[in-house]
Amino acid sequence: MQGTVDISRIFTSNSTSILGFFQQAGLGYYIPLYQREYSWDTENIDQLLEDILNGLENIVDENADVGRQTSPDQQIHFMGTIILVTEKEPIKNIKPLDQRALPTRVDNVIDGQQRLSTIALLSCQLYKEIYELQQRLSDTDSSKDAKEAAQTYLENLKDLFSVDIKRGSPQRKPVIIRASVDQWTLDGNDDNYKSPVSSYLASFIRAINTNEAPNFPPVRGRSLVQRNLKKMSEFLSSEKTSLPSGPKVLKAIDAGKITELELWSYPREALLNRIRQIEDNTNSLSDEDRHLSKLVRLFAVCDYLLNRCCFTVIKPESDVRAFDMFQSLNATGTPLTAYETFKPLVVNYVESSGASFQNSNSDRHLKSVDDLLSSETKASAKSKITNDFLTAFALAQSGFKLSKQFSTQRRWLCNSYENKCRSDSGKEEFLQHMGELAIYWREVVQFEPSKKSYVLESLPVQDQDKKVSTVCLLYLRDANHRMALTVLSRFYSKVLHERDSNENILGSVQEFISALKVTTAFYTIWRSSLSNSGLDDVYRDLLAKEICWEKGNERLTAKFLSEYFQGKLAERGIGNRVDWLNKAKSFLRYDESKVVCKFSLFVTAEDTIPDPDCPGLMKEGLPGSTPEYLTPEKWNSPELSTIEHIAPQKNQSSNDLSQWDDSLYEDDNYQRIGNLTLLPVDVNSSLSNKGWIEKFIYYQHLSQKDPDRLAELTSQAQERGINLSDQAIKLLTNSSHNSHILPIVELGSEKAWDKELVEKRSERICSILWERLYSWLSVS
Predicted confidence at residue 33, as pLDDT, reads: 74
- pLDDT for res 67: 39
CA–CA dist 588, 592 (Å, integer): 7
C-alpha to C-alpha distance for 694 and 724, rounded to whole angstroms: 9
Angle in degrees, 0-180, between the axes of helices 558-571 and 535-542, rounded to the nearest 10: 140
SS3 label, residue 632 = helix
Read off the pLDDT of each residue in 634-647 and give the average, rounded to a whole number: 90
**Which residues, including other chains, have CB under 8 Å from residue 725's CB and lie 6 or more apart?**
none
Q: Encode pLDDT of 77-110 as tens digits.
A: 999 999 999 999 999 889 899 999 999 999 999 8
CB atoms inside a 10 Å sphere around CB 477: 17
Give the separation between CA 314 and CA 81, rounded to whole angstroms. 7
pLDDT at position 327 over 70: no
pLDDT at site 535: 96
**DSSP string spanning 410-464?**
HHHHHHIIIII--SHHHHHHHHHHHHHHHHHIIIIIT--TTT-S-TTTTSS--HH
Strands 162-164 and 11-17 turn out to be: unpaired
Strand pairing class (77-86; 309-316): parallel
- Residue 159 scores a pLDDT above 90: yes
DSSP string, 115-183: HHHHHHHHHHHHHHHHHHHHHH--SSHHHHHHHHHHHHHHHHHHHHHEEE-SSSSSSEEESEEETTTB-
- CB neighbour burial string for 196-229, b if at least 16 within 10 angstroms, e if fewer: bbbbbbbbbbbbbeeeeebebbebeeeebbbbbb
pLDDT bucket at 332, cuts 50 / 70 / 90: very low
Phi-psi domain of 779 (left: phi exceeds 0; alpha: psi -120 through 50; beta: other): beta
**Which of the residue ranges 29-38, 182-191, 538-547, 678-687 would you say has the lowest mean pLDDT?**
678-687
Residue 63 banded pLDDT, cuts 50, 70, 90: low
Helices (H), 5-84: 7-10, 18-22, 42-60, 65-69
Residue, of 686 and 346, whose pLDDT is higher = 346
For residue 331, the model assigns a pLDDT of 46
β pairing state of 176-178 and 162-164: unpaired
Contact 33, 327 (CB under 8 A): no
Q: Calculate Rg over the CA atoms of the chain.
A: 31
Q: Is the pLDDT of residue 371 over 90?
A: yes
3-state DSSP assignment of residue 752: coil
User: Among candidates 222, 221, 178, 171, which has minimal Cα distance to 198?
Assistant: 178
**SS3 for 342?**
helix
Q: Looking at the predicted structure, is the pLDDT value of residue 645 above 60?
A: yes
Question: Higher model confidence: residue 363 or residue 322?
Answer: 363
Question: Residue 617, exposed/middle/buried by CB under 10 A (0-12, 13-18, 19+)?
Answer: buried
Nearest in space to 699 (alpha carbons), one of 718, 678, 715: 678
**Is residue 425 pLDDT above 70, yes or no?**
yes
Tell me the C-alpha distance between 713 and 715, whole Å.
5
> Shortest CA distance to 728 belongs to which of 752, 744, 705, 710?
710
CB crowding 91-117: b at 16 or more within 10 Å, else e:
eeebeeeeeebbbeebbbbbbbbbbbb
Count the neighbouring beta carbons within 10 Å of the beta carbon of residue 727.
Answer: 10
Task: Specify the pLDDT at position 376.
Answer: 86
Cβ neighbours of residue 440 closer than 8 Å, sequence gap 6 or more: 489, 492, 493, 496
What pLDDT score was predicted for residue 57? 85
pLDDT at 46 over 90: yes
End-to-end CA distance of the chain: 83
For residue 305, give the nearest of 561, 514, 56, 586 by alpha carbon. Answer: 56
Q: What confidence tier does 2 reach under pLDDT thresholds 50, 70, 90?
A: low
Would you say residue 342 has pLDDT above 90?
Answer: no
- Burial tier of 354 (Cβ tally within 10 Å: 0-12, 13-18, 19+): exposed
* C-alpha separations of 442 from 127, 382, 471 in Å: 44, 15, 17
Q: pLDDT tens, 561-619?
A: 999 999 999 999 999 999 999 999 999 999 999 999 999 999 999 999 999 999 999 99
> What is the tens place of the pLDDT at every residue in 4-45?
666 667 788 899 999 999 999 999 999 987 677 899 999 999
Cα-based distances in Å from 76 to 59, 69, 306, 308, 602: 10, 13, 11, 5, 48
- Name the least confident of 27-31, 237-241, 293-297, 436-440: 237-241
Q: What mean pLDDT, rounded, does the chain reach? A: 88
Kindly report the number of other CB atoms within 10 A of residue 282's CB atom.
Answer: 11
DSSP state of 672: B
Q: What are phi and psi of 398, to 5 degrees?
A: -140, 5
Q: Residues 156-179: what's their mean pLDDT?
A: 97
> Which residues of 663-759 form beta strands (DSSP E)?
676-679
**Nearest-5° Cα angle at 41, 38 to 43:** 145
pLDDT given for residue 267 in this prediction = 83
Tell me: pLDDT of 328 over 60: no
pLDDT tens-digit readout, 746-778 = 998 889 899 999 999 999 999 999 999 999 999
Separation of alpha carbons 763 and 171, rounded Å? 64
Instruction: Give the mean pLDDT of 350-367.
Output: 88
Report CA 157 to chain centroid distance, whole Å: 27
Above 60 in pLDDT, residue 62?
no
Q: How confident is the model at residue 66 (pLDDT cuts 50, 70, 90)?
A: very low
Q: Name the pairing type of β-strands 172-174 and 27-31.
A: unpaired
Residue 713 has pLDDT above 70, yes or no: no
DSSP H helices, 462-530, are: 463-478, 482-501, 505-527
On the question of a cis peptide bond just before residue 174, with omega within 30 degrees of 0, the verdict is no
Residues 578/582/585/589 CA torsion (nearest 10 deg): -120
3-state secondary structure string, 543-604?
A: HHHHHCHHHCCCCCCHHHHHHHHHHHHHHCCCCCHHHHHHHHHHHCECCCCHHHHHHHHHHH
Residues 293, 638: Cα–Cα separation, whole Å? 47
pLDDT over 90 percentage in the chain: 59
Average pLDDT over residues 267-275: 83
Q: How confident is the model at residue 643 (pLDDT cuts 50, 70, 90)?
A: very high
What's at 261, amino acid-wise? L
The better pLDDT of the pair 171, 330 is held by 171
Percent of the chain with pLDDT over 70: 87
Phi and psi at 110, nearest 5°, equal -85, -40
Q: Say which residue, 684 or 554, is predicted with more confidence.
A: 554
**Among the listed residues 515, 481, 339, 477, the one whose alpha carbon sits nearest the alpha carbon of residue 410:** 339
The pLDDT, as a whole number, for residue 706 is 67
With 0-12 / 13-18 / 19 or more C-beta atoms within 10 angstroms meaning exposed / middle / buried, residue 154 is middle
Q: Assess whether pLDDT exceeds 60 at residue 691.
A: yes
